[in-house]
Amino acid sequence: MPLNDGPITLLVVDDEEPIRNALRRFLMQQGYEVEVAAGGEEALEILKRQRITGMLLDVNMPGTSGVELVPLVMELEPTIALLMLTAVNDATSAALCMQRGAYDYLIKPIDLGHLGRAIHQALRRRHTILEGQQINQWLKDEVAARVAERRLEQINLERISVATLEALVNALEAKDPFLRGHSARVADLSAMVAAQMGVSDEQIEAVRTGGRLHDIGKIGIREEILNKQGPLTKQEFEHVQQHVTVGSQILAPLVHLREVIGFVRSHHERWDGTGYPDHLHGEQIPLGARIIGAVEIYDALTTSRPYQDRMPPELAVERLRDLVGIVVDPAVHQALEAVVSQRQALVFLDDARV
């Protein structure tokens, strides 16, 4: 992988002018771009101003010493190839500099041939480190991109599976003029009730999906019983009741619908514990199931059925109040009442505009 690293600029930092000049001349002959500084402050100024690839830094300087300068340099230019220049008797300071991030040290007087090789080696080492960092970054980006792609695919699959099941529900309801659109209406009103109760957006969407799929188990109920006019026998009623367990079994393989499956299974539970299939009571019943159950009764009351005319919304809310504490959660009823009256106010406004 090529590194786009630009021209190689070296910075020579030494308080002795003859040494600075000699090093500059030599390094320019080697083809490097060269900057010089007589002390620490000046060197830091240059580092702030321009990109420096490598640095020759004298350990012993008046003011800020080379040793003190190393951490400041590394902070400004963490990938710099840093070589220390030191007197014979100062190898300990040079070793300290290497602990702080310098690559190597050269002992004065400097052998230019040795210097050339040391710079070359330091630059090569820097290149290898940068390449490694680049590969690491590239790998991290690749992994993150793959994970994001996979997640998107999964979300799409989840959407498709819910849409397919909704299509099944629609097909089932389309056969019965009294049921047409029931699940879609239950879904929308249930989501509004959930929002009114202040639950999270994620919860609202789970309730909406639960509303759309709550009766999917009716696929497993014999048609002559589903369409039967008049009262059901005990056995027939027990068969119809199975739609909640059949529904949750149909959805069971869809792990992302785990919560929704609970809503489907429990939407015929009653607040007093006399519902089905698990005889849950009160807050044992998942909130989504309590909402969908109440809204389903409201929808049955406000749409025409073979055995009844549709009831006006306010009257249906009134009728549901009789079921509070027995079938319906009091808090759900309160939220439903608020949503229905807001909706009626909007209808009234629309009518007034016409």
Catalytic residues: 218
CA distance 254 to 264: 13
| # residues contacting Fe ion (CB under 5 A) | 1
CB of 243 to Fe ion, least distance (A): 6
Residue closer to Fe ion (CB basis): 126 or 265: 265
Residue closer to Fe ion (CB basis): 43 or 246: 246
Select the residue whose beta carbon is closest to Fe ion and give its number: 215
Q: Give the contacts of 181 (CB within 8 A, at least 6 positions apart).
A: 173
Task: Report the 10 Å Cβ neighbour count for 294.
Answer: 26
What is the number of residues in the chain? 354
Residue closer to Fe ion (CB basis): 173 or 215: 215
Write out the binding residues for Fe ion, residues 289-308 only, by CB under 5 A.
none
x-marked contacts with Fe ion along 107-146 as a string, rule CB under 5 A: ----------------------------------------
CA distance 13 to 203: 64
Produce one character per residue of 336-351: b if its CB has 16 or more CB atoms within 10 Å, e if not: bbebbeeeeeeeeeee
**Three-class secondary structure of residue 16 per DSSP:** coil
Distances (CA, A) of 220 to 125, 239, 337: 71, 9, 33
Q: With both helix axes pointing from N to C terminus, report the angle between 201-213 and 112-174 in degrees, rounded to the nearest 10.
A: 40
Residue closer to Fe ion (CB basis): 56 or 261: 261
CB of 312 to Fe ion, least distance (A): 23
Write out the binding residues for Fe ion, residues 179-238 only, by CB under 5 A.
215
| Residue in this structure with the two tokens 């792609």, named with its chain if needed | 149
Residue closer to Fe ion (CB basis): 254 or 300: 300
CB of 270 to Fe ion, least distance (A): 13
Distances (CA, A) of 14 to 43, 66, 242: 10, 9, 89
CB of 195 to Fe ion, least distance (A): 22
CB of 233 to Fe ion, least distance (A): 19
Which residues in this chain contact Fe ion in the complex, by CB under 5 A? 215
